[in-house]
Structure 1
Amino acid sequence: MGLTHGSFISLKQFYEMREESDDLLEYIDGVVFMSPSPSTKHQRVSSRLQLKFGNFLEGGACEVFTAPYDVHLKKDGVEGNKIIIPDISIICDKSGFTETKYVGVPDLIVEILSPSNQSHDLVTKLNLYMKFGVKEYWIVNPMLNSITVYVLNEEGMYEQFDIKTGSGKLASKQFDGFEVDLQYVFK
């Protein structure tokens, strides 16, 4: 749910708000969203996925970033300001890095659901990432021990590439050869 309750704020006001807050805040076209503090299970899942992605990508062109790290989504032809804090981002195009954030579009984003913000990740962010062309989007549901992988098709729409619940190995389309065992992720 947005913090600004129907009123829009400027990007400048958003940055001022963040300076005065310890909360994780995101900004989507004038609306501020607060991310809940992650649970212990959320942190364990994030850590395990970060480790797996990091080991797989070691020595290559891509890097793994975890929350809290700002991604200012920017793509030619798409208007507005979107500053988000994905749980995990994999970024291969180094040209968008600044001292404090990444400006551009990550190649892969992972969001780990919390009970209080599921619709934000399942609807708002899914549509946002699709619109900006994030090639692969993983939705991790620690309450159900499941992971769903969406990939962009040729029409620029997400389609489900893989889904697993409880057990099994999940693969990435964007990073050929990468796979993760759900029992490891959710143990």
Structure 2
Amino acid sequence: MGQPAEKRRRATYADLEAVPPNKVAELIGGVLHVLPRPAPPHTRAASRLGGKLSGPFDLGEGGPGGWHILDEPEIHFPDPASPGDVEAVVPDLAGWRVERMPELPETAFFPLAPDWICEVLSPSTEEHDRTEKMPVYAREGVVHAWLVDPIRRTLEVFSLVPGRGCAPIATHRDAARVRIEPFDAIEIDLSLLWAK
């Protein structure tokens, strides 16, 4: 008779903190995910989208304001499988309505789920973003989720539907000019995200 399978040790936040700073680390369901830093097309798409949204929504310049829009915030959620432990995710962009989070926390992480997240997909992270992180965002009540793919030149829009999780709403491509909730007060020219 064979040996019983060795039980894998659940990773902890201490394991995440030990990851070198040139990597992105996330902790989901007791599993430590260590990811490479993003490639230039990924970084450019995230930076341009964040820049497009920050003026009107974070600063209130030419738009309604009322948001905190942040690059790569570390967000902590309670780990449902291990009380007292946390799950830690780092979306490429996240936004909180000021009415829900009037002040930024003093900690290095955010204990409150954002109202909106955006993940910029790359070949090395797409499966992780879709199958690991999107269910966590839905479970924690993130209402709006966008997936941007700079290689396919797409922006996929998801919205939280009670009992169904993050449901797909629309996919926009190439040089589309779009107005998308929760930032439909402005038009976004997607070609700016792919420009070299």
In structure 1, list runs of 5 or more residues that go unmatched.
1-5
Pair 1:54 & 2:54 matched: yes
Identity level (%): 23
In structure 2, list runs of 5 or more residues that go unmatched.
1-7
- CA 1:104–1:75: 2 relative to 1, 3 Å: farther
**TM-score, with structure 1 as normaliser:** 0.84
Q: Is 2:22–2:36's contact at 8 Å kept on the other side of the alignment?
A: no
Q: Is 1:163–1:170's contact at 8 Å kept on the other side of the alignment?
A: no
Pair 1:164 & 2:166 matched: no
Match of 1:71 among 65, 70, 75: 75
The residue type paired with residue 23 of structure 2 is D
- How many positions carry a matched residue from both structures? 179
Counting only pairs closer than 5 Å after superposition, residues 11-160 of structure 1 correspond to structure 2 as 11-15=13-17, 17-18=18-19, 21-57=21-57, 58-59=59-60, 60-67=65-72, 69-73=73-77, 81-92=86-97, 93-94=100-101, 97-155=105-163, 157-160=165-168
Supply the distance in 1 between the matched residues of 2:117 and 2:144 (Cα, whole angstroms): 7
Q: Deviations over 1:138-170 (max 9, x none)?
A: 001111011101011244522222211212123
Q: How far off is 1:41 after superposition? A: 0.8
Structure with bigger gyration radius: 2
Determine which structure has the larger helix proportion and give its number: 1
Structure 2 counterpart of 1:3: none
Match of 2:146, SS state, is: strand
Supply the distance in 1 between the matched residues of 2:78 and 2:56 (Cα, whole angstroms): 27
Q: Is 1:36–1:114's contact at 8 Å kept on the other side of the alignment?
A: no
- CA 1:172–1:74: 2 relative to 1, 3 Å: farther
Q: Which structure 1 residue ranges, 4+ long, deviate > 6 Å from structure 2? A: none
- CA 1:42–1:101: 2 relative to 1, 3 Å: same
